[in-house]
Structure 1
């Protein structure tokens, strides 16, 4: 059997959960609009596998880094730009918007080895003046531009 054919086949397995956790899973299925528990568990498994790849650093993935920061922090925007320039092969695009008061939100579209993206996210989110930061990964990469 080919790898492609194996990918498309469904496999059944049994999972035992405490009733309280099953109740929470059912609530998530309902609130997010999943068609079934199986669909929700598959989505959770995919997310877990992506996170595992990030820890191992073996997969090339795409994702976003979201930052909220105080733009009045002296030298912060220059520092964030320097970090992005140093990692220019990972940063596909970025956008920032003005929020209330002194806050900006910046979202970077990134692609590369999961461990490299985690390193980039860590560098950005630990800068003085960054209030929050989060790396979100997907399972696939962005097709190359022609």
Structure 2
């Protein structure tokens, strides 16, 4: 393990200390390592479309939108190589939420998510990508 020494201004150091305490870190080194891992992992899956990742795609949709439920299910079946699992829940009379767990190359996962979110009747959603291998 290497030891790094960094200099940061007092305000930033205090903010980092408060942040790491709120997050429950026992020491600044582990907090810094996690921040660095997250940043490097985000960069990896952003710029390397073949980088393996796992992801959750969560979206809200109107289940009364004509054929939308069927179209969404067909999309998952057509991409069975990416789709690991899904969960569906009814929120209101017309509103459902679905979360899909995905696994595969970051570019393919992102393309699938964009196609789902662009479907007529999908109100909004969000994709959360996590690198599969530690950076």
Alignment equivalent of 2:24, drawn from 25, 30, 33: 33
Aligned residue for 1:13, secondary structure, equals coil
Query: What is the rounded CA distance, in whole Å, between the counterparts of 1:17 and 1:128 in structure 2?
Result: 48
Kindly state the Cα deviation for residue 16 of structure 1 after the two structures are TM-superposed.
4.3
Alignment equivalent of 1:122, drawn from 104, 114, 125: 114
- TM-score calculated relative to the size of structure 1: 0.75
Paired position in structure 2 for 1:5: none
Q: Which has the higher contact order (CA 8 A, sep 6+)?
A: 2
Q: Does 1:12 align with 2:13?
A: no
RMSD of Structure 2 on Structure 1 (CA): 2.2
Q: Give structure 2 stretches of 5+ with no counterpart.
A: none
Poorly superposed stretches of 4+, deviation over 6 Å = none
Q: Give structure 1 stretches of 5+ with no counterpart.
A: 1-9, 142-146
Contact map agreement 1:53 1:114 (CA 8 A) in 2: no
Paired position in structure 2 for 1:66: 58
Query: What is the number of residues matched between the two proteins?
Result: 132
Cα gap change, 1:36/1:126 in structure 2, threshold over 3 Å: closer, same or farther? farther
- TM-score calculated relative to the size of structure 2: 0.80
Q: Does 1:111 align with 2:68?
A: no
Paired position in structure 2 for 1:53: 44
